[in-house]
Chain A
């Protein structure tokens, strides 16, 4: 976890840009035309993220969370309302590493995508593999790596895209409990060192309260904003913190879980 002397930049309230949000959705509605007629994925959703802020979006399956991320990344356009966002990059739920490329080359893929030479992409990706404890696996192919390692490489890949906004789509959903806890720890650590505006979509309420400064709760389809809860605990947070346990309970109750 992060050391006690936490970097100033990780605390959103101290950032001067707070006035200008990095991501702003206003009354956004998104519909799809499927075989069984029109499906409304998101309805009238408004939210804003300040620069450097981490917001978690939790909700039941099919609440339009992935649609929300694709809107922020500019992969979709809203049917109603407006989406304004700084350049955003996706970190997908499945790692989607290239099976033929080494861990190092996968980590540098976003740089290659932007046209950088291979040597330069490797030079920039190497310190990050080192930082996340993957230095000795730099030459390994994805098939030789564990799920947790693959997800770390996927994260580095998105981070190195150099965009202001990270859109994380249930990054640890496919991992076991221990690997997931490790993942949450290195994510918090990496974001403390390299602050980004983060929109984190997750099923895991504990993960949301642990990582996010604010939590948006969406309803089942069509996804509507049920509540937006501020996290009273400041970073770095710990699972056992009573404030977090209370917040987790509030989120669960908002979602309709039995008290």
Chain B
């Protein structure tokens, strides 16, 4: 426990450094716009973005809820589907050898670009967004979950066999738990793509959501408001990334987090 406290202290210091750099960059930006006399319609100063965040808060909040729903539901579906497919691929050589190459090839499809077609098929509602978010999230979760299954020590598998464990027992008692950190890692990577996917799907056809607000704001030259939506989207993605890491830390305290753990409170 004491070690955790020390680590938290050390980490807080490095987070402080990052925060100071952020403040310095924002200050330079503010100076550039205020003193340099650039057109604030083209590039709003940070304080104007802050004002937009405050003044438009009810509009931004209600549209944020729409986008958040798309992201969270989409990622949830992706996790369930990815876990199911990774399990099937883990159990069956035929499924793995037939599905895996197609899965990798599918990553060349620019899914967000397909969003207008999905809108054409499914309308302006939630469904095309969920499909885009789900598809862009799905891949990374499948890959990291499969890597999790593959990381089970073959010696442990042998040991379980000499214990007399059935295939199903081995899966439930050892392999599934072993793969869970991989599921979390995949979900952490996925949320970044998911936010992007949701916004692009909204641009393709929507009447609410932060992507919709962004498109409308740019069209009306409300650039400060457009930047405000970007700030919210970025903060949301970071929050999700860190939040999933935090859940992993609490739910699987024995596991390590190889990717991006520097963004989280420890």
By a CB distance below 8 angstroms, the chain A residues around B158 are 70, 73, 75, 90, 92
Does residue B177 face the partner (Cβ distance < 8 Å to A)? yes
Cross-chain contact B162 with A100 (CB below 8 angstroms): no
Q: Which residue of B lies closest to A88 (CB)?
A: B162
Q: Are A73 and B165 in contact (CB under 8 A)?
A: no
Distance A115 CA – B172 CA, assembled complex (angstroms): 11
Which residues of A in the span 75-93 have a Cβ within 8 Å of any Cβ on B? 75, 87-90, 92
By a CB distance below 8 angstroms, the chain A residues around B160 are: 109, 113
In contact, A109 and B162 (Cβ under 8 angstroms) = no
For residue A255, give the distance in angstroms from its CB to the closest CB of chain B.
Answer: 27
Q: How far is the CA of A88 from the CA of B158 in the complex (A)?
A: 12
Q: Is the CB of B155 within 8 A of A94?
A: yes
Least distance between B127 CB and chain A CB atoms (Å):
38
Residues of A within 8 A of B121 (CB): none
B165 touches A113 (CB 8 A): yes
Given contacts A99-B254, A100-B252, is CB(A114)–CB(B162) below 8 Å? no
B156 touches A113 (CB 8 A): no
Determine whether the beta carbon of A73 is less than 8 Å from that of B177.
Answer: no
A73 to B162, CA, bound (A): 7
The dominant DSSP class at the B interface is: helix
* A99 CA to B125 CA, complexed, in Å: 45
Alpha-carbon distance A50/B159, docked complex (angstroms): 24
Does the CB pair B173–A112 fall under 8 Å? yes
Report if A230 contacts B (CB, 8 A). Answer: no
Residues in A whose Cβ lies below 8 Å from that of B159: 90, 92, 96
Separation of A87 and B170 alpha carbons in the complex (Å): 19
Assess whether A96 is in contact with B155, with CB atoms less than 8 Å apart: yes
Cβ proximity bits B134-171 to A, threshold 8 Å, 1 near / 0 not: 00000000000000000001011011111111100110
CB atoms of B254 and A90 under 8 A apart: no
Is A135 among interface residues, defined by CB-CB distance under 8 A? Answer: no
Give CA–CA (A37, B161) in the complex, Å. Answer: 29
Within 8 A of A (CB), among B168-201: 169-170, 173-174, 177
Determine if A110 and B163 form an interchain contact, defined as CB atoms under 8 angstroms apart. yes
Distance, CA A89 to CA B163, complexed state (A): 6
Contact with B254, one of A88, A94, A113, A143 (Cβ below 8 angstroms): A143
Name the contact of A114 in the complex, choosing from B155, B163, B255 (C-beta under 8 A): B163
Within the complex, the shortest CB–CB distance from A226 to chain B, in Å, comes to: 28
In the assembly, what is the distance between CA of A243 and CA of B239, in Å?
70
Mark contacts of A60-75 with chain B using CB atoms, 8 A cut-off: 1 yes-contact digit, 0 otherwise.
0000000000100111
**Are A98 and B177 within 8 A (Cβ)?**
yes
A74 to B254, CA, bound (A): 32
Other than the given A74-B162, A96-B153, 11 more pairs (CB < 8 A) read A75-B161, A90-B158, A90-B162, A92-B159, A98-B174, A98-B177, A100-B252, A100-B254, A114-B164, A161-B162, A161-B163
Number of interface residues of A (CB under 8 A): 25
Task: For B177, list chain A residues within 8 Å (CB).
Answer: 98, 100
Chain A residues within CB distance 8 Å of chain B: 70, 73-75, 87-90, 92, 94, 96, 98-100, 109-110, 112-115, 141, 143, 161, 163, 167
Q: Is the CB of B163 within 8 A of A92?
A: no
Residues of B within 8 A of A70 (CB): 158
Bound: A89/B155 CA distance, A? 13
Query: Could you show 9 A-B contacts with beta carbons less than 8 Å apart?
Result: A96-B159, A100-B177, A100-B252, A109-B160, A109-B163, A110-B163, A113-B160, A114-B165, A161-B164
Separation of A141 and B177 alpha carbons in the complex (Å): 15
Bound: A115/B159 CA distance, A: 15
Cβ contact of A113, chosen from B155, B163, B252, cutoff 8 A: B163
Query: Which residues of chain B are near A109, meaning CB under 8 Å?
Result: 160, 163, 173
Q: How far is the CB of A208 from chain B (nearest CB, A)?
A: 23
Q: How far is the CB of B204 from chain A (nearest CB, A)?
A: 43
- Closest residue of A by beta carbon distance from B174: A98
* Distance from A107 Cβ to chain B, minimum over Cβ atoms (Å): 12
> In the assembled complex, which residues on chain B have CB atoms less than 8 Å from the CB atom of A143?
254
Q: How far is the CA of A141 from the CA of B252 in the complex (A)?
A: 12
B248 → chain A, closest Cβ, in Å? 12
Q: Which chain B residues border A114 with CB–CB below 8 Å?
A: 163-165
Minimum CB–CB distance from A213 to chain B (whole Å) comes to: 23
Chain A residues with CB under 8 Å of B254's CB are 99-100, 141, 143
Contact between B169 and A115, CB atoms less than 8 A apart:
yes
What are the 3 closest A-B residue pairs judged by CB atoms, nearest first? Answer: A113-B165, A113-B163, A110-B163
Most buried by A among B159, B169, B174: B159
- In whole angstroms, how far apart are the Cα atoms of A114 and B168 in the complex? 11
Most chain A CB within a 10 A radius of its CB, from B153, B164, B170, B177: B164
CB of B162 within 8 A of CB of A75, answer: yes
Knowing A70-B158, A90-B158, A161-B162, say if A113 contacts B173 (CB, 8 Å): yes
Instruction: Give the one of A74, A87, A112, A113 with max B CB within 10 A.
Output: A113
